[in-house]
Amino acid sequence: MVEVSIDNASAVFTLKGADKFWAMKSEIKVQLANIVDFREQPSPVPGWFQGLKLIGTDIPNKFRAGTFYENGGRVFWDVRRPDKTIVVQLRDESYKKLVVEVESPASAIRTIKDGIARRRMFRTNAQ
């Protein structure tokens, strides 16, 4: 599972528990300005032969954690319970997309939305 937080101008995706081991990563930090889209997306766990595993764990139709190469770019996955999944589309980052399980998709979406809104407000006030 992943916890989403905001740190200045970045969104921080922190892996919890054994997911760090399975994904071989503990945290991903991306610039809020590089988030193109984000949404709740239940049931995204892929089956067989959907992307190339670069590093991590993949049990088709059950669990996926780590870095995969899909559709011309790197995608980070950490999903065991698909009904609690969000997808974050990125630009100008090492990953083109994050597909992660969170405790509360609505809360994670709200955290990202609020972080982007604060960043925009700060940039507008600074000008």
Residues 9-58: pLDDT tens digits?
A: 999 999 999 999 999 999 999 999 999 999 999 877 666 567 788 999 98
Phi and psi angles of residue 74, each rounded to the nearest 5 degrees, phi first: -85, 135
User: Are 90 and 97 contacting, i.e. CB atoms less than 8 angstroms apart?
Assistant: yes
Q: In sequence order, which ranges of the chain are alpha helices (DSSP H)?
A: 19-23, 105-126
Global pTM value: 0.90
Domain range annotation of the chain = 2-126
Distance CA 16, CA 74 (A): 21
Q: Which has more confidence, 121 or 99? A: 99
Residue 60, both tokens = 């088709």
Assign a CATH topology to domain 2-126.
PH-domain like (2.30.29)
Mean pLDDT for 95-100 is 96
Distance CA 114, CA 92 (A): 21
Q: Per-residue confidence at 61, pLDDT binned at 50, 70, 90?
A: confident
Q: Which residues are registered as beta bridge partners of 75?
A: 68, 97
Q: Per-residue confidence at 59, pLDDT binned at 50, 70, 90?
A: confident
